[in-house]
Amino acid sequence: MKEVEVLRYDIMELKKAIKELTELLTVKPIEEPQDKPTSLDKQISDILLSYRIPVHIKGYRYLKEAIKMEVETYALAVGVTKHIYPTIALQHKDSSSKVERAIRHAIELGWKGQTLPKPTNSQFIALVAEKIRMEREQIA
């Protein structure tokens, strides 16, 4: 009689283990979070477009990369002329001065009609990067 009880207990434990393994191996659909964080590129694009910076100019692409570098690495701490411009110039086979000029031109186009004084390149990059950081902190 005791052997039957032990066998019954072993069978119940085996069923439990099989059920747990089945649950672990079952592929479940990934549930999308309600407040799905947007990608960094999309956040940057949305902000640049809100300033009406034209997408078709080089300065837009350079500005987007500069902001992304700042958000990810705090690149402005090293310096915009020492780190950001040379890095972007190297990636695009261009000179640092052309990168700086293209970014300045993009900001000027987006700033037309504003009553506030136009920010410098580094001020604008820092402003947008900080806005993105703050938004990401609220989501997390």
140 residues of the chain, pLDDT tens digit each: 666 565 566 667 766 766 665 665 555 554 444 445 569 999 999 999 999 999 999 999 999 999 999 998 887 777 888 889 999 999 999 999 999 999 999 999 999 988 889 999 999 999 999 999 998 888 76
Q: What is the pLDDT of residue 74?
A: 82
Other C-beta atoms lying within 10 Å of the C-beta of residue 111: 16
Distance CA 135, CA 100 (A): 27
Q: Does the pTM exceed 0.75?
A: no
What domains can you pick out in the chain, each with its CATH number? 40-139 (1.10.10.10)
Beta-carbon contacts of residue 126 (< 8 Å; ≥ 6 apart): 70, 76
